[in-house]
């Protein structure tokens, strides 16, 4: 979320990044409900702008908004955009006028403590739910409001929507967001015990430090202790340090900040555009499940082959692979059509669409689905095999649906002073490589175990949530386990698709008191590898990598068992991965029948 002052970095999310219409017939068919001919044709020549309007909150603090409305008498539906990235950027102003000329009032607000909203200090996330609710209440009392409110924006701007929607304001009619979720603790800040360092440090301690956009300064991911890494950037950031001091998901600190348990309260039509390589994908998928199971039939989700930032809606996706012309998606039309229908009653049919639309990588095509996860999924175990020499891609590691018998376990040494570097994946808001990339350089390291199927003769589609179960031991008091899914191309290119991490002390859950491990004892570790959609084509191979670090996306486990926030001492850990009849380590892949 670093780049947030223009285009999708601002309030429009992905709305104006890609304005090229889908190039292929399948994409046109999949998204025909969003055709330009179905958009509202209402047009006003001029937009009236009221700048620096003070909007009072329940505690007396005033927030500052700019209001863009049609140059005409009457009452109109309102689109609310609440941003920490400056409401007054040139691109955002033009976009706001665009909506005003189409018969909307657009309220663009700096959130509490940021830019023009200076009456109270900024603290990430804390006030967004209540401030959003109060802003809705203020809007419907204005003479230009017809009482119908929609929201728009991505990332943090999407979070401001989700958080306020859990308060159930009756005037909120529809929401449109991209790359966002309700789960601030699990996903934005931590992932199964590991601290999301590659995001929380440059963005949380830098970009959103203080009143306005800060100079992030030098980001030293390797600095120890982690809790003082903000000082290297020239900031002592309260919310960054509080995140590290409150690692448990059920800590009272996260109340009114992380809304994963409250997301089911969202009853209004809600559209989210996501990326398979977005940092918030896991939370967005959980939101889809929780909101639809609670009865909201108008919760829609679109997932493309994209990363979080500026490549959303483009065929390149943000990594090093080209996903073809169908990956170019005109999200401008998608969001306008959604708001046109729910706020204006335009009969464009968006409410009739299947709730889930997925980009199937490998085949590089879009497909509509009726639910998530897909009801026809065949969850299939792929077991690890080797004679104890699975280190590197040149080792003897095999991945197979056959259960293992008596086999020699694999071993490697994890050194936190020399961690496996992050190379792609669900990374955001830093110079760390993100998206889908070639992992062959990673697979030359002896601290990376590699297990690969034989060459496929038939296509295998993997679409859905991925899980791993490792039977593993370490001589350390605590350590991390990282598992990654790879598509190996016929030329040897190793394309990363998805991964997961689990901190050993949180093996019982990130809402349970952490417990250290006994050296040498074999434990069962269940690792959430998030989700993907990819067809492994004939001639390709399915591969799993196993290691103990993914740095700097996640903070390094120092292996000592000390507090990860304040620890400075590092020790090497000797790791053992078992795969036998007694300890059948495996991954569970969601196979879709062809």
Question: Residue 416: is it exposed, middle or buried by C-beta count within 10 angstroms (0-12/13-18/19+)?
Answer: buried
Q: What is the pLDDT of residues 2-47, one digit of tens each?
A: 333 333 334 333 333 332 333 344 566 788 888 888 988 888 889 9
Q: How far is CA 295 from the centre of its chain?
A: 24
- The catalytic site residues sit at 155, 278, 308
C-alpha 483/C-alpha 209 separation (Å) is: 33
Q: What is the pLDDT of residues 245-272, one digit of tens each?
A: 999 999 999 999 999 999 999 999 999 9
CB 441 within 8 A of CB 493: no
C-alpha 266/C-alpha 207 separation (Å) is: 29
CB 125 within 8 A of CB 223: no
What phi and psi, each to the nearest 5 degrees, are found at residue 175?
-135, 145
CATH of region 378-592, choose from 3.40.1360.10, 3.40.50.2300, 2.40.40.20, 2.60.120.260: 2.60.120.260
Angle at which helices 128-139 and 156-165 cross, to 10° = 70
Q: What is the pLDDT of residues 214-224, one digit of tens each?
A: 667 789 999 99
SS percent in the chain: helix, strand, coil, step 5:
20, 30, 50
Q: How far is CA 367 from the centre of its chain?
A: 21
Q: Using only C-alpha atoms, what is the Rg of the chain?
A: 24
Q: Structurally, what CATH architecture does the domain formed by 43-193+247-303+338-353 represent?
A: 3-Layer(aba) Sandwich (3.40)
C-alpha 341/C-alpha 150 separation (Å) is: 11
Q: Average of pLDDT values for 405-423?
A: 97
Q: What is the pLDDT of residues 280-336, one digit of tens each?
A: 999 999 999 999 999 999 999 999 999 998 888 899 889 999 999 999 998 888 999
Count of beta carbons in the 10 Å neighbourhood of residue 445: 18
Whole-number average pLDDT of the chain? 93
C-alpha 109/C-alpha 521 separation (Å) is: 54
Q: Is 280 helix (H, G, I), strand (E, B) or coil?
A: coil
CB 429 within 8 A of CB 308: yes
Would you kindly state where each structural domain of the chain is located, as residue ranges? 43-193+247-303+338-353, 378-592
Q: Average of pLDDT values for 192-208?
A: 96
CB 362 within 8 A of CB 537: yes
> pTM for the whole thing?
0.95
Listed in sequence order, the residues at least 6 apart from 513 whose beta carbon sits closer than 8 Å to its beta carbon are 248
Is the pLDDT at 131 greater than 50, yes or no? yes
What is the structure's pLDDT at 22? 37
C-alpha 591/C-alpha 411 separation (Å) is: 30
The reply to whether domains 43-193+247-303+338-353 and 378-592 share a CATH topology is no
Question: E strands along 222-348, which residues?
Answer: 270-277, 299-307
Q: What is the pLDDT of residues 79-92, one digit of tens each?
A: 999 999 999 988 88
Range 168-207 burial, b when 16+ CB lie within 10 A, else e: ebeebbbbbbbbbbbbbbbbbbbbbbbbbbbbbbbbbbbb
Question: E strands along 489-551, which residues?
Answer: 494-503, 523-536, 541-547
């Amino acid at each position: 979320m670093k780049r947030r002052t223009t285009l999708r970095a601002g309030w429009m999310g992905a709305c104006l990044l890609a304005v090229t219409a889908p190039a292929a017939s399948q994409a046109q068919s999949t998204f025909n409900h969003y055709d330009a001919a179905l958009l509202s044709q209402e047009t006003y020549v001029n937009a009236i702008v009221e700048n620096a309007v003070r909007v009072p909150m329940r505690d007396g603090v005033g927030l500052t908004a700019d209001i863009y409305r049609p140059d005409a008498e009457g009452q109109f539906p309102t689109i609310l955009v609440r941003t920490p990235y400056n409401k007054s950027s040139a691109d955002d102003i033009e976009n706001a006028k665009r909506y005003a000329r189409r018969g909307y009032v657009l309220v663009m607000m700096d959130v509490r403590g940021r830019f023009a909203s200076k009456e109270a200090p900024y603290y990430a996330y804390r006030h967004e739910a209540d401030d959003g609710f109060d802003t809705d209440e203020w809007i419907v009392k204005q003479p230009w409001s017809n009482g119908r409110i929609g929201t728009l924006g991505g990332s943090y701007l999407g979070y401001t929507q989700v958080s306020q929607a859990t308060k159930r304001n009756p005037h909120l009619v529809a929401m449109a967001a991209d790359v966002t979720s309700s789960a601030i603790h699990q996903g934005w800040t931590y992932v199964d015990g590991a601290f999301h360092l590659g995001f929380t440090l440059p963005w949380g301690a830098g970009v959103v430090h203080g009143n306005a956009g800060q100079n992030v300064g030098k980001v030293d991911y390797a600095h120890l202790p982690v809790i003082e890494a903000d000082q290297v950037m020239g900031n002592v950031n309260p919310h960054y340090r509080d995140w590290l001091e409150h690692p448990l998901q059920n800590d009272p600190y996260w109340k009114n900040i992380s809304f994963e348990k409250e997301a089911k309260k969202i009853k209004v039509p809600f559209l989210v555009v996501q990326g398979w390589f977005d940092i918030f994908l896991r939370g967005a998928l959980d939101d889809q499940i929780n909101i639809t199971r609670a009865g909201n039939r108008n919760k829609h989700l679109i997932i493309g082959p994209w990363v979080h930032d500026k490549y959303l809606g483009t065929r390149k996706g943000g990594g090093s692979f080209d996903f073809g012309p169908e990956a170019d998606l005109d999200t401008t039309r998608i969001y306008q059509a959604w708001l046109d229908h729910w706020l204006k009653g335009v009969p464009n049919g968006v409410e009739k669409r299947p709730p889930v639309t997925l980009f199937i990588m490998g085949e590089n095509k879009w497909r509509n689905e009726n639910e998530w996860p897909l009801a026809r999924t065949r969850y299939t175990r792929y077991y690890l095999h080797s004679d104890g020499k699975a280190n590197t891609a040149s080792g003897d590691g095999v991945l197979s649906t056959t259960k293992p018998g008596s086999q020699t376990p694999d071993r490697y040494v994890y050194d936190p002073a020399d961690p496996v570097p992050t190379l792609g994946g669900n990374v955001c808001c830093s110079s760390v490589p993100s998206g889908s990339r070639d992992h062959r350089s990673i697979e030359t390291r002896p601290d990376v175990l590699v297990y690969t199927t034989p060459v496929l003769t038939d296509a295998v589609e993997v679409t859905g949530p991925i899980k791993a179960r490792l039977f593993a031991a370490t001589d350390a008091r605590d350590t991390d386990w990282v598992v990654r899914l790879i598509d190996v191309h016929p030329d040897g290119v190793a394309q990363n698709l998805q991964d997961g991490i689990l901190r050993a002390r949180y093996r019982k859950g990130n809402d349970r008191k952490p417990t250290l491990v006994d050296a040498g004892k074999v434990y069962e570790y269940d690792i959430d590898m998030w989700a993907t959609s990819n067809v492994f084509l004939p001639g390709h191979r399915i591969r799993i990598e196993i290691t103990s670090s993914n740095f700097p996306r996640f903070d390094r486990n120092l292996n000592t068992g000390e507090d990860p926030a304040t620890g400075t001492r590092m020790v090497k850990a000797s790791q053992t991965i078992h795969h036998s009849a007694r300890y059948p380590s495996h991954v569970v892949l969601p196979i879709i029948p062809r």
